């Protein structure tokens, strides 16, 4: 069995998609449709920057999605490889869950771009700049990270935001609590704590205003039928019902990204091969979660050609 997976925020960089757009009309069509849907030249920011504009949450989220869907369209149209024919399930890391839903036809491309633009704006606006923070804990498993978060909270919000792999967990919450957590890492047998360069504390209870905004947006633009099952971030289990997934997307804004558990659940279901489209972030995580699985991370035309031959 094979899973197609899609990266989340942090995988953006200036120049993303440039090679694909130069080589493929299918990729160019994706970038043009996203530009039209958003009423902005997002593709120009992706290609030329400036970097501070690309890293803005409201730009990074649709940009990462557009790059991954362009990669998928090239695979399908230039190399004749159908995700639905070659895949058994999909998953995405945080915003990547929207990309995965687009890939299996639950959302159209334009709607996905608009939803992610709104999601990015809502997440940014939920907490005033400077009041929230996130940190990555290196050399931490979930148990150590949870104990550290509980200790550092001191009445403030300090929660596990991402359970990425057995060696990396991310905390999110109030700035003072996250600073305390970074200062306490050695006491909990954790190798390092690193403050992340993010503008808001994603995937914690401080994001409730953004969850409310997404509930309204998804009520107006609900997901349709999924061509393949999706492993949802907040449950780490397979979903095929669009109504259930709509509710999970709302919960995802404040909820934990259970990526490690999602990968293990896919492996348990029989997935032996993972294909990451549009990034090279999830592949290494998957390798640390389960070294026996086969992983392809695909961003270039050469990567796509190699993948098409392998499939």
Return d(Cα 6, Cα 93) in angstroms, integer.
6
Active site residue 94: yes
Catalytic residue (one of 11, 24, 43, 94): 94
> Which residues, other chains included, contact 170 with Cβ-Cβ below 8 Å and sequence gap of 6+?
134, 135, 136, 137, 160, 161, 162, 164, 196, 203
94 contacts 181 by C-beta, under 8 angstroms: no
Cβ 61 vs Cβ 9: under 8 Å: yes
Partners of 277 in the β-ladder: 298
Neighbouring CB atoms inside 10 A of 121's CB total 17
Instruction: Give the active site residue among 11, 24, 93, 203.
Output: 203
**Catalytic (active site) residue 24:** no
Rounded Cα distance, 247 and 165, in Å:
25
Which residues does the annotation mark as catalytic?
Answer: 94, 203
């Amino acid at each position: 069995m094979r899973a197609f997976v899609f990266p989340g925020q942090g995988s953006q960089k200036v120049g993303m998609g440039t090679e694909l757009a130069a080589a493929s009309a299918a990729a160019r069509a994706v970038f043009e449709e996203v530009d039209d849907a958003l009423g902005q030249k997002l593709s120009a920011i992706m290609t030329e920057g400036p970097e501070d504009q690309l890293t803005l949450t409201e730009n990074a989220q649709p940009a990462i999605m557009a790059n991954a869907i362009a990669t998928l369209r090239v695979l399908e149209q230039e190399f004749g490889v159908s995700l639905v024919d070659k895949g058994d399930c999909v998953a995405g890391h945080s915003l990547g869950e929207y990309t995965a839903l687009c890939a299996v036809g639950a959302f159209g491309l334009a709607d996905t771009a608009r939803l992610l633009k709104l999601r990015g704006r809502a997440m940014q606006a939920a907490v005033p700049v400077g009041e929230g923070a996130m940190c990555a804990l290196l050399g931490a498993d979930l148990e150590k990270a949870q104990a550290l978060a509980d200790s550092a909270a001191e009445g403030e919000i300090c929660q596990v935001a991402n359970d990425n792999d057995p060696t990396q967990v991310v905390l999110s919450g109030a700035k003072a609590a996250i600073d305390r957590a970074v200062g306490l890492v050695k006491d909990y047998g954790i190798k390092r704590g690193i403050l992340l360069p993010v503008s808001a504390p994603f995937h914690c209870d401080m994001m409730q205003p953004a969850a409310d905004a997404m509930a309204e947006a998804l009520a107006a633009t609900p997901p349709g039928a999924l061509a393949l099952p999706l492993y949802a971030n907040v449950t780490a289990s397979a979903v095929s019902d669009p109504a259930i997934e709509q509710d999970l997307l709302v919960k995802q804004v404040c909820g934990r990204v259970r990526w490690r558990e999602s990968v293990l659940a896919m492996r348990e279901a029989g997935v032996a091969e993972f294909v990451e489209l549009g990034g090279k972030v999830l592949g290494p995580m998957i390798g640390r979660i389960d070294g026996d699985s086969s992983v392809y991370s695909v961003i270039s035309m050469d990567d796509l050609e190699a993948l098409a031959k392998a499939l």
